[in-house]
C-alpha cells in the first residue's frame, strides 16, 4: 500500500468517511488505525463543538473590570454628593490613574439617577459595593433574571465599616472580638447573599404579576398559531420520499455497473 492511499484513508477517517476496504491484517497496524480513529473522533467532536459555539453564541465586547480599564473606557464617572472629598483626594494624588479618575468624576442627586444614566450613556457610578448590588437587584433586573448593570471586580477604595463608641469604654474589646468573629465566619457575606436572593425573588414575582396583568386575554382569530399536521407536512414528506427513491435508484445503478464490469 502506497503512501498516497494511507494519507487518503487517514484524511477520510478524519472527515468522517467510512473505513477503507483495504483493512490491515497485522495487529500492530490495526492498533494504529484504532488509535487514529479515536483521535479523529475526539478532535472532530471538539472542533465541531467549538465552531458551533463560536457561530451561535453572541460575542460581547470586553467590559472594564479594573480601575485602569474604567478610566480608559468611560466618559464620565458619577457619584453622590458626599463624593466631593473623594474627588479632591483623587485630584491631588500623584498617580495619573487617580488624577484621571478625579477629572472624570461628576455628581448626581441620588444613586438611582447615577445608575440610570449608566444604563443609557457611556459612564459608570461609584458607591458601596453591597448597596450597589442591592439597588441593581431591586430596580435594574430584567424579567428573565439578567441584570442591566454589573459591579467591577476591582475595588477602588476597599474599606471597613465601624461603630462609634465612647473613648476608653471597657466593652470595646468584647465588641471588637464579636465583630471579628462575625466577619471571619462569613456571616456578613451570607446575610448579604440572602438579602440579595430575597430581593431578586421579590422582583421576579412582581414582574411576573405585572406581565400577567398586562397580558390580554387570548382571542380566537385567524392569526393564532396553528399546530402543524400531516396536511402542512405533505410538501416536506414528498421531498423526502423523492430523495429516498432517487438514492435507491442511484444505488441500484451502481450495483448493476459493478456487476457488468
Domain ranges in the chain? 3-56, 67-210
Supply the Cα-derived Rg of the chain in whole angstroms. 33
> 117 falls in which pLDDT band (50, 70, 90)?
very high
User: Percentage of the chain with pLDDT > 70?
Assistant: 87
pLDDT at 261 over 80: no
Name which of 246, 66, 90, 69 is nearest 153 in CA terms: 66
**By mean pLDDT, which of 50-64, 69-83, 87-101 is the weakest?**
50-64
The three-class DSSP label of residue 125 is strand
Would you state the pLDDT for residue 28? 77
Distance CA 56, CA 63 (A): 21
Per residue in 12-26, pLDDT (tens digit) is 777 777 766 666 677
Are residues 76 and 92 in contact, defined by beta-carbon separation less than 8 angstroms? Answer: no
The C-alpha cell of 166 is what?
Answer: 465612647
Bridge-based pairing state of the strands 123-125 and 76-79 = parallel
The answer, yes or no, to whether residue 113 has pLDDT greater than 70, is: yes
Q: How confident is the model at residue 158 (pLDDT cuts 50, 70, 90)?
A: confident
- pLDDT of res. 221: 47
Please state whether 112 falls in left (phi above 0), alpha (psi between -120 and 50) or beta.
alpha
Q: Residue 147 pairs with which residues in a beta bridge? A: 141
pLDDT for position 168: 86
Q: Could you tell me the sign of the dihedral formed by the alpha carbons of 72, 73, 75, 78, in that order?
A: negative
pLDDT score recorded for residue 222: 47
- Can you give the pLDDT at residue 1? 53
The pLDDT, as a whole number, for residue 223 is: 47
**Which residue(s) pair with 76 in the sheet?**
123
For residues 260 and 251, give the distance between their C-alpha atoms in angstroms, rounded to a whole number.
Answer: 15
Q: What is the mean pLDDT of the chain?
A: 84
487514529: which residue's cell? 36
Distance CA 233, CA 183 (A): 64
pTM of the predicted model, to two decimals?
0.59
Per-residue confidence (pLDDT) for residue 75, from 0 to 100: 93
Q: Which of 35, 190, 27 is nearest to 13 (CA)?
A: 35
DSSP element (H, E) containing 124: strand 123-125
Instruction: List strands edge to edge, sheet with 76-79.
Output: 105-107, 76-79, 123-125
Amino acid at each position: 500500500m502506497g503512501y498516497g492511499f494511507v494519507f487518503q484513508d487517514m484524511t477520510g477517517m478524519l472527515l468522517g468517511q467510512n473505513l477503507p476496504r483495504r483493512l490491515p491484517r497485522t495487529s500492530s497496524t490495526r492498533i494504529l488505525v484504532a488509535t487514529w480513529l479515536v483521535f479523529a473522533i475526539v478532535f472532530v467532536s471538539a472542533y465541531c463543538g467549538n465552531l458551533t459555539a463560536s457561530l451561535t453564541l453572541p460575542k460581547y465586547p470586553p467590559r472594564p473590570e479594573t480601575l485602569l480599564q474604567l478610566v480608559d473606557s468611560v466618559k464620565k464617572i458619577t457619584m453622590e454628593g458626599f463624593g466631593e472629598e473623594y474627588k479632591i483626594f483623587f485630584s491631588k494624588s500623584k498617580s495619573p490613574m487617580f488624577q484621571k479618575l478625579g477629572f472624570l468624576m461628576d455628581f448626581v442627586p441620588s444613586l438611582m439617577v447615577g445608575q440610570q444614566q449608566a444604563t443609557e450613556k457611556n459612564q459608570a457610578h461609584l458607591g458601596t459595593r453591597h448597596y450597589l448590588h442591592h439597588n441593581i437587584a431591586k430596580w435594574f433586573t430584567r424579567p428573565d433574571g439578567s441584570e442591566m448593570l454589573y459591579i467591577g471586580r476591582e475595588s477602588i477604595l476597599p474599606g471597613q465599616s465601624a461603630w462609634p463608641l465612647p473613648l476608653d469604654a471597657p466593652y470595646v474589646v468584647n465588641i471588637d472580638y464579636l465583630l471579628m468573629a462575625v466577619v471571619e465566619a462569613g456571616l456578613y457575606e451570607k446575610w448579604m447573599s440572602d438579602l440579595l436572593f430575597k430581593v431578586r425573588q421579590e422582583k421576579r414575582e412582581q414582574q411576573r404579576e405585572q406581565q400577567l396583568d398586562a397580558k390580554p386575554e387570548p382571542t380566537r382569530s385567524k392569526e393564532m398559531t396553528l399546530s402543524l399536521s400531516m396536511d402542512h407536512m405533505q410538501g416536506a414528506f414528498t421531498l423526502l420520499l423523492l430523495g429516498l427513491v432517487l438514492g435507491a435508484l442511484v444505488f441500484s445503478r451502481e450495483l448493476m455497473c459493478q456487476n457488468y464490469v
